[in-house]
């Protein structure tokens, strides 16, 4: 399944009187919502929230809803409508190359030896997994170059 490079969805923006914060709701993406202290922050957060929501749907192989018409969208309180756009190639790369924490269990004596030798456990584990899966080091270097740019 080819994933689109860009998504664009209408969203409602409003100001919550109780909190003084701006909120953004996506009528076509249930559960996707965000807030911000300023209108600008809420709009930026909306782009991130929508990207993350759609990335999760892509990974779960959920059907991505077709964006509704801006002309037909109506909020409960007649909130203004904004179009939020997400550029997915860079977001996907960021999500797929981010570091994740893993808990590793070692015997105490081995941990003491490793710490006294100033070993970098994360690096050793990465190299061991690369070796075990027979992943080419040139591919790893290429990925690292893309991430550091």
Terminal-residue alpha carbon distance, the chain? 28
Give me the number of domains the chain comprises: 2
* DSSP conformational letter for 88: H
- Asked whether residue 14 falls in the same domain as residue 86, the answer is yes
- Its sign, for the CA torsion 72, 75, 76, 77, is negative
**Domain span including residue 134:** 99-148
A 10 A CB-CB count for 143 gives: 14
Nearest to 68 by CA among 25, 27, 7, 24: 27
Let me know if residue 137 belongs to a domain.
Answer: yes
Contact 35, 45 (CB under 8 A): yes
pLDDT digits (tens, 9 = 90+) for 112-147: 999 999 999 988 998 898 889 888 866 666 655 655
Q: How far apart are CA 106 and CA 145, in angstroms?
A: 32
User: How high is the pLDDT of residue 143?
Assistant: 59
- Asked whether residue 27 falls in the same domain as residue 55, the answer is yes
- Asked whether residue 11 falls in the same domain as residue 71, the answer is yes
- Asked whether residue 68 falls in the same domain as residue 122, the answer is no
- Asked whether residue 56 falls in the same domain as residue 105, the answer is no
Q: How far apart are CA 30 and CA 53, in angstroms?
A: 10
Let me know if residue 107 belongs to a domain.
Answer: yes
- Asked whether residue 27 falls in the same domain as residue 86, the answer is yes
DSSP structure string for 56-70: HHHHTTPPPPPPPPT
Name 47's Cβ contacts closer than 8 Å, sequence gap at least 6: 84, 85, 86
- Asked whether residue 13 falls in the same domain as residue 75, the answer is yes
- Asked whether residue 86 falls in the same domain as residue 120, the answer is no
- Asked whether residue 53 falls in the same domain as residue 17, the answer is yes
- Asked whether residue 58 falls in the same domain as residue 117, the answer is no
User: How high is the pLDDT of residue 149?
Assistant: 43
Nearest to 32 by CA among 92, 96, 93, 86: 86
A 10 A CB-CB count for 115 gives: 10
Let me know if residue 55 belongs to a domain.
Answer: yes
Q: How far apart are CA 63 and CA 45, in angstroms?
A: 23
Let me know if residue 1 belongs to a domain.
Answer: no
- Asked whether residue 15 falls in the same domain as residue 84, the answer is yes
- Asked whether residue 37 falls in the same domain as residue 57, the answer is yes
User: How high is the pLDDT of residue 120?
Assistant: 93
pTM above 0.75, yes or no: no
pLDDT under 50: residue ranges of the chain: 149
């Amino acid at each position: 399944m080819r994933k689109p490079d860009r998504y664009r969805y209408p969203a409602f923006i409003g100001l919550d009187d109780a909190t003084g914060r701006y909120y953004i709701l996506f009528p076509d993406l249930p559960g996707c919502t965000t807030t911000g202290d300023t209108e600008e922050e809420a709009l930026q957060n909306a782009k991130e929230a929508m990207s993350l929501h759609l990335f999760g749907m892509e990974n779960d192989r959920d059907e991505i809803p077709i964006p509704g018409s801006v002309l037909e969208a109506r909020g409960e309180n007649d909130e203004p409508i904004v179009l939020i756009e997400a550029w997915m190639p860079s977001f996907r790369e960021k999500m797929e190359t981010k570091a994740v924490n893993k808990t590793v269990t070692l015997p105490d004596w081995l941990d003491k030896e490793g710490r006294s030798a100033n070993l970098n456990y994360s690096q050793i584990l990465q190299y061991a997994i690369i070796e075990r899966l027979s992943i080419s080091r040139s591919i790893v270097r290429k990925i690292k170059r893309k991430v550091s740019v």
